[in-house]
Structure 1
Amino acid sequence: MSNQAPTPDPLQSLRLLVPAPPSGGTHVDWQDLAAEYPHGFPDDYCVFMRDYGEGEFDNHLMVFPPVPDVYPQDPDSTVRGVTAEARYQAEEDEYDQPDLLVGWAMTADSDLLCWRTTSSDPNDWTTVIWRRQWLEWQAFDFGMTEFLRRFAARDLPELWTFDLPYEGCRFIHSRDTKRLHLEGINPWRPEPAAGS
């Protein structure tokens, strides 16, 4: 586990490091999801979906929505899909209580990022990662937004290092990535693409 104290308001700190998409995030009707996700979600995830939505940080870390949106024919690119993969992997590795894992992101290296749902209050959930290249689980004592803030601040050097063609950190919503690809534009070029 990390021994650094979490930031008091990691979502605000994340916004200062990485602007949210100008066109907003992903609309989610949370009441409609109560039957599919009876455990609920952390408040910061709900706000993140509203402000940022499904999308990718630095062409590396993809945050998934609870239900398909940009790619409606790909139900695996959701919290449910990542959760199923994480629980399967945890069972294969005899990881403690795989049913407590709820996936929320995946990396380009196929690392799986999950909440460990040891509390009935989703706001108390912490982060666990399956490091595929190292075949190990790694636990952190903070939630999703603090993890993303540290990712954006390059404050997780033990996990990933980057050689990016630009400074700082970027987030691009999946709808913008899809649009730019259709226009033949690489969204991860040195200069940000307009509207991304």
Structure 2
Amino acid sequence: MELTQATVSDLLAQLGPWDGYMYLPGDLDPHDLTDRLSGRYGAPRTLVLDGFTDPTLGESRGSALLQPFGERAVTIRAWAWGDRWVGTGTARDGEDIVRPVLVVAQREMPEPLAVAADQDVDWMERLIRITGWTHPARRPDVDWAEMESRLGTALPRDYTRMVETFGEGAFDGFLTLHQEPWTWRREDGLLSWAGTEHKDLYCWRAEGDDPDRWPVVVRSFDGEELSFDCQAAEFVCRILVDPYHPYTMARFFDTHWFMNYGEAD
């Protein structure tokens, strides 16, 4: 079976928008299918490897993908993509033959929590919940002391947690998280921590001794600036879920995820 991105799209369309699975021809290379899905959805999570299921697997980590196969799953890797789980790998069919498979399942998205004015919120935990993030920390060993020494400033803690947790990638496949602040607007007092494909820069106004109190500044592609009195993680949460935010992504995406560009688990 010749595999192209168009072929993959056709197969996914055959499965429909909700729960579905199919066994694929034996001459299809399951690694090729995994690579092509990774090109669309980022790094996958391994649910089953050589017949052994991840012991931490649960509903929030894609267990619905294994229901059609039971104990017949051999290797299954999965992606969280909006309100859908997508999985591929190999499983034994009714004649006990190991064959490539493609499977999809509905993904339950947690509702963002309302926040009272006097509520102390861990915005990183809320961001993890909004995106349905289930992977282990992608970059837990970043040498922040070396980076901060090189930059000449400490960095906001919520930003360092974002990089450690999510690693290299983009929220909703659109808002790219810089792995190190960009300094090319430093003469304007700005450090950029993220950007979009529309060439908007999401920055801090790096003034004062406490980085955790730096406001977020959006520098748009046409040079206009708009400031927000909040931290980076709170800003991302709000643009993901608030359809009335000036830089909302909620009007374009009903559910939210982080596309990781790194290696698979």
Match of 1:65 in 2: 179
TM alignment of 1:51-90, pairs within 5 A? 51-66=165-180, 79=181, 82-84=182-184, 86-87=185-186
Secondary structure of 1:39's match?
A: coil
The alpha carbon displacement at 1:38 in A equals 1.9
Which consecutive unaligned segments of at least 5 residues does structure 2 have?
1-115
Distance 2:154 2:176 in 1: 21
Q: Which protein shows a greater Rg?
A: 2
What residue identity is the alignment partner of 1:172?
M
Match of 1:125 in 2: 214
Secondary structure of 1:28's match?
A: coil
Distance 1:155 1:12 in 2: 21
Identity %: 25
Match of 1:149 in 2: 237
Residue of 117, 129, 133 corresponding to 1:16: 129
Secondary structure of 1:113's match?
A: strand
Secondary structure of 1:123's match?
A: helix
> How many residue pairs get matched?
147
TM alignment of 1:22-61, pairs within 5 A? 22-26=135-139, 27-61=141-175
Which consecutive unaligned segments of at least 5 residues does structure 1 have?
67-78, 88-96, 180-194
What residue identity is the alignment partner of 1:114?
C
TM-score, normalised by the number of residues in structure 2: 0.50
Secondary structure of 1:175's match?
A: coil
Kept in 2, the 8 Å contact 1:63–1:106? The answer is: yes
What residue identity is the alignment partner of 2:165?
D
Distance 2:194 2:134 in 1: 18
Root mean square deviation of aligned Cα: 2.5
Q: Which has the higher contact order (CA 8 A, sep 6+)?
A: 1
Matched, 1:169 2:169: no
Matched, 1:108 2:207: no
Distance 1:169 1:35, change over 3 A: same
Kept in 2, the 8 Å contact 1:105–1:113? The answer is: yes
What residue identity is the alignment partner of 2:231?
G
Higher strand share: 2
Match of 2:11 in 1: none
Kept in 1, the 8 Å contact 2:214–2:231? The answer is: yes
Match of 1:93 in 2: none
Kept in 1, the 8 Å contact 2:239–2:247? The answer is: no
Distance 1:172 1:129 in 2: 22
Distance 1:7 1:115 in 2: 22
Q: After alignment, is 22-31 or 107-116 more displaced? A: 22-31
TM-score, normalised by the number of residues in structure 1: 0.65
